[in-house]
Amino acid sequence: MATPSHQLPLPPPEFSDLGRRDFDPVWAEMKTWTLSRDGSEPDRIWRVEHPPVFTLGLAGKHEHVLAPGDIPVIDIDRGGQVTYHGPGQLIVYPLINLRRLKLGIRALVEALEHAVVDTLADYGIPAANRPDAPGVYVEGRKIAALGLRVRNGCTYHGLAFNVNMDLSPFNRINPCGYAGMEVTQVSEQGGPSDPDVVWQDLQPHLIHRLGYPSPK
Tell me if 155 is assigned to a ligand binding site. no
Choice among 90, 91, 176, 198 that is catalytic: 176
**What would you report as the CA-atom Rg of the chain, rounded to the nearest whole angstrom?**
17
Instruction: Tell me: is residue 3 an annotated ligand-binding position.
Output: no
The arrangement of strands across the sheet holding 82-85 comes to: 73-75, 53-56, 82-85
Can you say how many angstroms the Cα of residue 43 is from the centroid of all Cα atoms in its chain? 15
Per-residue exposure over 5-17, b if at least 16 CB sit within 10 Å of its own CB, e if not: eeeeeeeebebee
Residue 6 is inside which H or E element, if any? none
Is residue 155 classed as helix, strand or coil in its secondary structure? strand
Q: Is 83 one of the annotated binding-site residues?
A: yes
160 annotated as a binding-site residue: yes
190 assigned binding-site residue: no
Residue 205: φ, ψ to 5°: -70, -35
154 among known catalytic residues: no
Which amino acid would we find at residue 129? Answer: N
Is residue 191 annotated as involved in ligand binding? no
**Would you say 163 is a known binding-site residue?**
no
How far is 122 from 213, CA to CA, in rounded Å?
21
Please tell me whether 211 is known to bind a ligand: no
189 labelled ligand-binding: no
The residues near 204 (Cβ < 8 Å, ≥ 6 apart) are 214
Question: Annotated binding residue at 104?
Answer: no
Binding residues for substrate: 78-85, 145-147, 158-160
Binding residues: 78-85, 145-147, 158-160
Active site residues: 176
